[in-house]
Structure 1
């Protein structure tokens, strides 16, 4: 006998579980299908959360070894206890994923553990080690996220060659970690193991790091990372990777091979559509494998919707959350909203890099007239106190209207500071609006205010 719901969500990651909770708040009878042992998707289980735990721990280790003495703190010998660090990461993941399960219980969302497959409009089959089940619902949201991609000639072996999941759980610090791809994941995890003592070489096919980020900010970030010890080989077309014993040889087109003991492949992700039954039911896919949807997240099959990494746009957890909420609100109330120009991206290196809106490169290409305001953290009192003075805030505003078009931050707590810029863009604020708003002193947020003043060439403290 089929279980009946108003809405069934397939996938329990940030997009899926948030959609399920919001739908329950709107009075819907909701079921959520997820095949993993715990809820939370890639982000909470083996992505965003564990990586940030390792970034925080490795940064503290680095500070204790290199920077505490400058604060008058004598620590003596500082030693790494990697098993304890990894165990801390796992405890954090456990607490947060259990929290999602608690939210399901609180909001009355029914959790089905198993693999969901769309078998017909309004029907989802759930396969698990306990057998088969069938769910029926007028509305079905597909939110199965994405999976890592690799390159021709490279196969993950779960040991010497792998993706971010493997790189979050190395049992020992690599002697030489080779990172393929200079995007967010590669730089974050490369930073982790570099701080813990590994030699790190980053190979990137393009002639720059952080594709899609403001090129001026990315260039400045690269110089900082190089001073930290990361080595970059740009313009590297990787053709293969082969493990032999405890070594891996990475081959490149037109360049010498590189030998290390671990390889992290971080060249991107692709929509996780395998086994979802999309083709059988008639859900249309785009050329790059994404599910095609309209502005209300409706697929080509009536009553079936898709959000998050399955569809167009950046593969970000918070983007999936916004889409999940908007999708169920459209279903339940007839209206939902996502402003894709106001979705920030953050790279949690040290210093952090955060961005929202248009880059200067995009404005130049599109011919939009703009002005630039920039202010360095080195001129900020709070940054001096924190001993984190590298980087700056860069604001792009329309030349004629002063409306903020993009904000790019390289510096301490950039991932937190970018929220002000996202709100400003969401509400159509001008650089003058930020400049005229009081910012507490002494705070890092004053750098944002000064950059806004700088758009009109009137920064106060620089």
Structure 2
């Protein structure tokens, strides 16, 4: 039991947090003395890098707790390694297409071990750099942190005290409730990056971001790929026309896709092959990747000991400044369910710093933008037509096929579509999809216009360099028409 001599607290002054940490030692009856910190951060995703420099500049004492590799998903199993893998896969794809550009290549093969050496070199460099910085600047506690009470964190027998605590523990792959799933060696986004040999036939459950990016990458590297999606369309949150273009792109490269696929069981055969049984039959492959959603890493933190509330899915409930139900505890990044991307995690960090300094940044201030890094990329910002209709927003829609964009034709990458939604009442842009070459870069320009509340006519008055994909954006609006 903790003794009763502890004094602690915090106050709010003009919206900023002021710490009140008394100098009285915090002890246990067993005689253990805890080290005290202004801030404890649990988890080292991208928000940690965002906030730590500011905290150190303000001379805060900081402890970092990490149970896995420093850097979180982005550095270790997400953006950095997957985009490195995708770059190798694109190189293979372009070699195969050499004759389209007048370049004849007699033969080539995938050296998968070398591909993965490159992936590991790049992600390990990022991990090591981040780790070294933490070890040099803060008290770093490797191990799994859990709450003892609202101010106390236990890490493998060590207890530390935080005046303010930040939870930044991210998410992990959701295990689907499919009979037999626990008896087969299925892979998640972490496990597939640990492979040493190229799968001969990769089976994928889940037709969204993780599933589609790996599907195309491994197909281009030489694997057979079969993908199962339970919804009627892949990337089911997107408009149907965008989904169909994505499906066409992937199927043209030889990926087998089954939608509305109800999987009844999975099993492993005597020859180690994995079978997926679904309503259309049975398909057998060498490896199984599961990319059917994510769940928050909140279940092992003993949040009830601190009084931190979660929703029915396990995500930590936060207000518009990332503050939990306990005022001195914040939750940043994927674990709060308010965003599922590196850039939303970074923005959460900016919101948190604003709250500390009495600023006004809010989660709801941001316009959601993201990219699906298949090739060509699908980049999105704001609402699509589905969402605009759900919210009863009157809109106009403009489209342009990438096949009519000069830059796309010059690069012989003409698949895709530009689609922009405009509010019918005030001419502001409410959403866009740029699905095609360069879309992942072009979308930032549209996101900036939306954040600034610009009318679409501002684009039409802007001169943009030729030859680029961006230069076509002003001309897209000439096709504005009422929604169907």
- TM (norm. structure 2) is 0.87
Structure 1 residues 402 and 334, CA gap change in structure 2 (3 angstroms) = closer
Question: What is the RMSD computed on CA atoms of the aligned residues?
Answer: 2.1
Pairwise CA distance, 1:340: 5.8
Matched with 2:345 is 320
Pairwise CA distance, 1:156: 5.5
CA–CA separation in structure 2 for the residues paired with 1:188 and 1:262: 16
Pairwise CA distance, 1:329: 2.2
CA–CA separation in structure 2 for the residues paired with 1:339 and 1:24: 27
Pairwise CA distance, 1:183: 0.3
Deviations 1:388-435 (A, max 9, x none): 111121110001211100011110122222111211111112211222
Instruction: Figure out how many residues of one structure are paired with residues of the other and give that number.
Output: 448
CA–CA separation in structure 2 for the residues paired with 1:407 and 1:282: 40
* 1:406-421 correspondence to structure 2 within 5 Å: 406-421=431-446
Pairwise CA distance, 1:146: 0.4
Matched with 2:123 is 93
Structure 1 residues 281 and 27, CA gap change in structure 2 (3 angstroms) = same
Whether the 8 Å CA contact 2:321–2:362 is kept in 1: the answer is: no
* 1:208-287 correspondence to structure 2 within 5 Å: 208-244=233-269, 245-252=271-278, 254-287=279-312
CA–CA separation in structure 2 for the residues paired with 1:22 and 1:52: 29
Matched with 1:28 is 60
Structure 1: runs of 5 or more not aligned: 458-462
Whether the 8 Å CA contact 1:341–1:425 is kept in 2: the answer is: no
SS in 1 for 2:357: helix
Deviations 1:105-164 (A, max 9, x none): 68x34432221112222222222xxxx33222211010100010111225367x842111
Pairwise CA distance, 1:25: 4.1
Deviations 1:434-461 (A, max 9, x none): 222221111121232322443379xxxx
Pairwise CA distance, 1:218: 1.4
Structure 1 residues 300 and 86, CA gap change in structure 2 (3 angstroms) = same
Whether the 8 Å CA contact 1:435–1:453 is kept in 2: the answer is: no
Q: Residue 140 of structure 1 is aligned with which of 165, 168, 175?
A: 165
Pairwise CA distance, 1:264: 0.7
Q: Residue 403 of structure 1 is aligned with which of 425, 428, 433?
A: 428
- 2:224 paired with 1:199: yes
Matched with 2:38 is 6
Q: Residue 124 of structure 1 is aligned with which of 146, 153, 163?
A: 153
Pairwise CA distance, 1:209: 0.7
- 2:187 paired with 1:155: no
* 1:402-441 correspondence to structure 2 within 5 Å: 402-441=427-466
Greater Rg over alpha carbons, structure? 2
- 2:483 paired with 1:451: no
Whether the 8 Å CA contact 2:315–2:337 is kept in 1: the answer is: yes
- 2:381 paired with 1:349: no
CA–CA separation in structure 2 for the residues paired with 1:29 and 1:423: 36
CA–CA separation in structure 2 for the residues paired with 1:99 and 1:455: 48
Deviations 1:13-66 (A, max 9, x none): 123332333433454332221122x411122111221111111101101111x2
- 2:194 paired with 1:169: yes
SS in 2 for 1:137: strand
Whether the 8 Å CA contact 1:20–1:109 is kept in 2: the answer is: no
Structure 2: runs of 5 or more not aligned: 1-32
* 1:384-403 correspondence to structure 2 within 5 Å: 384-403=409-428
Structure 1 residues 102 and 343, CA gap change in structure 2 (3 angstroms) = farther
Whether the 8 Å CA contact 1:62–1:195 is kept in 2: the answer is: yes
CA–CA separation in structure 2 for the residues paired with 1:422 and 1:281: 38
CA–CA separation in structure 1 for the residues paired with 2:440 and 2:405: 17
Structure 1 residues 297 and 28, CA gap change in structure 2 (3 angstroms) = same
Structure 1 residues 314 and 239, CA gap change in structure 2 (3 angstroms) = farther
Deviations 1:204-232 (A, max 9, x none): 11101102223321122112211121111
CA–CA separation in structure 2 for the residues paired with 1:362 and 1:381: 31
- 2:403 paired with 1:378: yes
Deviates more, 1:188-197 or 1:71-80: 71-80
Q: Residue 467 of structure 2 is aligned with which of 437, 442, 449?
A: 442
Whether the 8 Å CA contact 1:104–1:110 is kept in 2: the answer is: yes
Matched with 1:17 is 49
